[in-house]
Structure 1
Amino acid sequence: MSTQLDRPKNASEHWARLFNARRLGSDKLPPTQDSARSSFHKDYDRLVFSHSFRQLNQKTQVHPLTNQLGIRTRLTHSLEVSCIGRSLGMMAAEKLHDKLDNGLPSGVTPADVGVIVQAACLAHDIGNPPFGHAGEYAIRDWFMHSDREPILQHLSINERLDLLAYEGNAQGFRLLVRNEHHPDNGGMRLTCATLGAFMKYPWLATHSNNKDADKLTDDVQKFGCFYSEAAQLEQLAECLNLPRSQQHDGYARHPLAYLLEAADDICYALIDLEDGIHLNMLSYAEVADIFYQLIGERPDTITLPAQMSARQQLAALRARAMMRLVNAVTDAFVANSDALLAGTLSGSLFAHCDPTIKSGINQAKALAREKIFNHPSKVRMELMANQCLHRLLDAFMPLAWMALTKAPKPFEQQRLLSLLQPHLDEHRRVLSEDIYQNILNILDFITGMNDHEAYRLAQELQGHLGTIV
């Protein structure tokens, strides 16, 4: 950062640093608020109008390339998570205000905290590749293949792990601080508070994975920042005064990142299961049982209108469950605020809620794993997604190391480069002798596609007309 900030002397000053409106990538001081539209509202607007956010409209939430209307995409999921995140942020701030001796920091309102979490939630999946988590696995598997070893030898351990443990979370941070709006000059220039809340994993791949890349297993640990954006992570941590993690060499989470995580888990438990019913993967009774547990009441104590459809009944139960979860999570947030500031909180906020709530969330996740993620139709689509991304990587990735040879480029590589070039031009990049940066630029291109674009191009590269089934 351009200015060295003093260390906070008490909890109120610490929270003031965490709600910092300084924009990462900009030397300008945050403006004095002169309207109802704060710097944090501007973060939200910048995200909504960004190209990467629009691409989420046809990216997988759970079910790739589904023809079923009304099934959630990453866009609708992100909007739902942001709504819950706003409620969590506002309610947590109201309760925190009552706990702190001097209330919230001067100039910060519960509405401000709500929109910080709302904006962070809106962006939480913005770096996901096509086909969701299946896309992440496909990219990791491609780089783990023995054929890639000669190329990986040209990279440092930090650079290799970025690829072998590839993470959509790190791609999201790269989009926000480097690629969007101001390429290589601050990216979207969001406030430090919003970026801090966005960073569920404020550390590098080498901080959470075995540093011996040859021994990296399939049990890849999550991380939130590529080595290429390590400097931006350091600037963000300094701006927010994030403490060092006690588990590894990275930083502890921003406290509001726990609210983002809770909002995402609530959608997982209460909303994503509904899609399983619509696709005949789950029964109404299976999901309703979990909803009643999260509500904390027996079915015979809740009377729903007889004329309601099953979908309407689930919506009514979901609203009650959501109300209880928001209250419980924000209570846990305030009760553990000292540990959050110190960076010592163990587990998620749900781990510090009533045992029935923690159990209900875990049951929802287990049901999704058992009945949705292992459903034959989803497995078939994920295998297709894997083949699509491997075909794209097979075609485009050799462009990353073509500068190592002076031989003339074959016709196919020339034409592939012509497809990649508009992306490079837009982001003011060139393919150079830096293989790592070339690989990241090509991954920016491929992971920026939505499911339909990736499927269509993969089909065309195999000589087929790229139509969607």
Structure 2
Amino acid sequence: MQWDQLLNSTRLGQRDAKVEDGRSPFNSDHDKVIFSGSFRRLARKTQVHPLATNDHVHNRLTHSLEVACVGRTLGMRVGHDLVKHKKVPDNFTAADIGDIVQTACLAHDIGNPPFGHTGEEAIRHWFQNDSGSILEGLGPQEAADLLSFEGNAQGFRVLTTSEYHVYDGGMRLTYASLGTFIKYPWTSADAANGKRPKKNKYGIYRSEADIFKEVATHTGLISKGDDWYCRHPLAHLMEMSDDFCYALLDLEDGIEMGILKWDEVFEVIRPILDETKIDGLSKELKDLRPGRRPPLVRGKIISSFVDAGANAFISNEKEILSGNIDDLLSKCSPAVKACVKSAKDLAKSRVFQHPRKVELEIGAYNTLATILDVLCNAAVNFARNEHEKDYKSKRALDLIGKNTFDPRVHEHDHDGPTREYLALMRVMDFVSGMSDNYATHLARQFNGSGDVR
């Protein structure tokens, strides 16, 4: 792969980017994401703890902003090296590369449904066990998209299809930013069959397959099979930024909620701190309450993470450009790798098993099942022109908006996805865009137990 093509500033649909003084196309990408409704709703979506009442605990929005900060720094560090060694065209700066990574990081969770990863599991569970005949008539790839619903693929759909210019380029971001966003550059069916680097993980729906190929072609990604390309090199920086923030900030939330003790968290992060300064740091932390301690070491930890990530990228650039690396974190220093793994293991065994979290996650299954049962049946009836016979379907469609469906839903002779699939994808847009609060409210309304006002 070549950097001049990878940093393509042309917008989706081969639209020329606007030339503005003091504002690059990649700055514009960043702003498009920030001002979108999908991004704003992340403030009411679960990061780890559903419907948290503690304002200090992360939600999807605060998590995305923090990942973007780390990603911008990683991108700048790598960018400085690329510019210094004249590996990118003269018109590109380190800030451009930082902006591209920052945009992808801002958007990396934009397609996640309510209730975090539990929401993804709940949607998959409903299609696999409770959807009845909903999937009849869909092609294998179409059915796989729903049976293994994936927030990453939904995010690509938000950016390219369902936000701003609906069904006409979406946010119309640059090819560089879209390529960097795609964490799993392949489709669902082969991933479900274990034929891709990550089983059951994918980044592209059938509905966006042509857009995906357009992005891959214009950024020069290397084809590795049918509907499968290697990652854009900068996607590695986005993924590491997410991993670094997960590793540290999930533990901070655990301390804030009283699930973890400071001493056990400090044991995990100590190996990557400067050992010569540990005694002075310990004295400084001694008289602070547990919740005030993480901010004083956070910068030091993130600095170590960024150093390791940037060094791993620069040292392995040739292999990355050849498309031969699937996981850059594994190329980081042993101390950083061990720290990230230990932090994730501690969060998984303690924070993720907190009783309140488990209770709310079980409830999320019923919440989303109630919503999907009503809306998916209505959408399929709509695609088959049978909704007028069913008053409940008519009212559900009024809620979604009949004019928000892909125009091809009622085109009988179009090439491409089936009409039922396109209708169901509109439901996925509607449901995955909900906040935790709205999903809970709507399920109560559908059950007849909501508030009467």
Q: TM-score with structure 2 length normalisation?
A: 0.92
1:465 partner letter: G
1:44 counterpart SS class: helix
Q: Tell me what 1:273 maps to.
A: 251
Mapping of residues 65-464 of structure 1, within 5 Å = 65-98=51-84, 100=85, 102-145=86-129, 148=131, 150-210=133-193, 221-245=200-224, 250-295=228-273, 297=275, 299-300=278-279, 302-305=281-284, 306-347=286-327, 349-403=328-382, 404=384, 406=386, 409-421=389-401, 424-426=402-404, 429=407, 432=410, 434-464=419-449
The secondary structure found in structure 1 opposite 2:389 is: coil
The superposition leaves residues 154-192 of structure 1 with CA deviations (integer Å, 9 ceiling, x where unpaired) of 111100100111100000000111111111111100011
Q: CA deviation at 1:141?
A: 0.6
Does the aligned pair in 2 maintain the 1:245–1:252 contact within 8 Å? yes
- Equivalent residue number for residue 29 of structure 1: 16
Note closer, same or farther for the CA distance 1:431–1:234 as it changes in structure 2 (3 Å cut): closer
The 1-side partners of 2:326 and 2:425 are apart by 33
On the 8 A contact 2:387/2:394 being kept in 1, the answer is no
Inter-partner Cα distance in structure 2 for 1:388 and 1:122: 27
- How far residue 446 of structure 1 moved from its aligned partner, in angstroms, is 1.2
Of residues 379-388 and 295-304 in structure 1, the stretch that sits farther from structure 2 once superposed is 295-304
Measured after TM superposition, the shift of residue 388 of structure 1 is: 0.4
**Cα displacement (A) at 1:280:** 1.5
Per-residue deviation, residues 64-92 of structure 1 (Å, max 9, x unmatched): 11111221110111000001100000011
Where 2:228 maps in the other structure, the secondary structure is coil
Please say which of residues 232-241 and 392-401 is displaced more in the overlay: 392-401
Q: CA deviation at 1:105?
A: 1.7
1:225-251 residue CA offsets vs partner (Å, 9 max, x unmatched): 1001000000000000001238x8511
* Contact kept in structure 1, 2:103 and 2:177, CA below 8 Å: yes
Once the two structures are superposed, residues 31-64 of structure 1 have per-residue CA deviations (whole angstroms, 9 ceiling, x without a partner) of 5x55221000000111111111111010000011
Q: Report the Cα distance in structure 1 between the residues aligned to 2:132 and 2:337, rounded to whole angstroms.
A: 43
Task: Indicate the residue corresponding to 2:416 in structure 1.
Answer: none
**Contact in 2 for aligned 1:20/1:239 (Cα 8 Å):** yes
Q: Does 1:18 align with 2:3?
A: no
**Per-residue deviation at 1:345?**
1.1
Partner Cα separation in structure 2 for residue 236 and residue 139 of structure 1 = 28
Deviates more, 1:80-89 or 1:398-407: 398-407
Distance 1:407 1:460 in 2: 21
Whether the aligned pair in 2 keeps the contact of 1:78 and 1:122 (CA below 8 Å) is yes
Conserved 8 A contact 1:262-1:350: yes
Note if contact 2:186-2:228 (Cα within 8 Å) is conserved in structure 1: yes
Distance of aligned partners of 1:117 and 1:407 in 2 relative to their CA distance in 1, 3 Å threshold: closer
Q: Give the whole-Å Cα distance in 1 for the aligned partners of 2:97 and 2:112.
A: 25
Contact 1:255 1:341 in 2 (8 A): yes
Q: Is the 8 A contact 1:458 1:466 kept in 2?
A: no
RMSD: 2.2
- Structure 2, unaligned stretches of length 5 or more? 413-418
Q: Flag the 1:229–1:286 CA change in 2: closer, same or farther, 3 A.
A: same
- 2:30 corresponds, among 41, 44, 67, to 44
* Residue identity (%): 40
Contact 2:83–2:93, Cα closer than 8 Å, also in 1: no
Q: CA 1:405/1:428 → structure 2, altered by over 3 Å: closer, same or farther?
A: closer
CA distance in 1, matches of 2:265, 2:163: 39
- Displacement of 1:425: 2.7
Secondary structure of 1:245's counterpart equals strand
| Residue aligning to 2:415 | none
Alpha carbons of structure 1 residues 312 and 406: separation in structure 2 relative to 1, 3 Å:
closer
Distance 1:225 1:346 in 2: 17
Q: Which amino acid aligns with 2:265?
A: V
Tell me the TM-score normalized by structure 1.
Answer: 0.89
Identify which range, 123-132 or 350-359, moves more after superposition: 350-359
Classify 1:458/1:304 alpha carbon distance in 2 versus 1 (closer, same or farther; 3 Å): same
Is contact 1:304–1:313 with CA below 8 Å preserved after alignment?
A: no
The separation in 1 between residues aligned to 2:387 and 2:41, in whole angstroms, is 37
CA contact (8 A) 1:457 1:466 kept: no
Of residues 297-306 and 393-402 in structure 1, the stretch that sits farther from structure 2 once superposed is 297-306
Structure 1 pair 408–46 and aligned structure 2 pair: CA distance change class (3 A): closer
CA separation of 1:266/1:466 partners in 2, compared to 1, >3 Å: closer, same or farther? farther
SS for the counterpart of 2:61 is: helix
- Once the two structures are TM-superposed, the CA of residue 466 in structure 1 deviates from its matched residue by 4.7
- Give the distance between the partners of 1:390 and 1:266, measured in 2 at CA: 33
* CA distance in structure 1 between the aligned counterparts of 2:98 and 2:243, rounded to whole angstroms: 18
Change (3 A) 1:152 1:103: closer
Using the TM superposition, give the Cα deviation of residue 411 of structure 1 relative to its aligned residue in structure 2, in angstroms: 3.0
More displaced 10-residue stretch of structure 1: 434-443 or 309-318? 309-318
Matching of residue 54 in structure 1 with residue 33 in structure 2: no
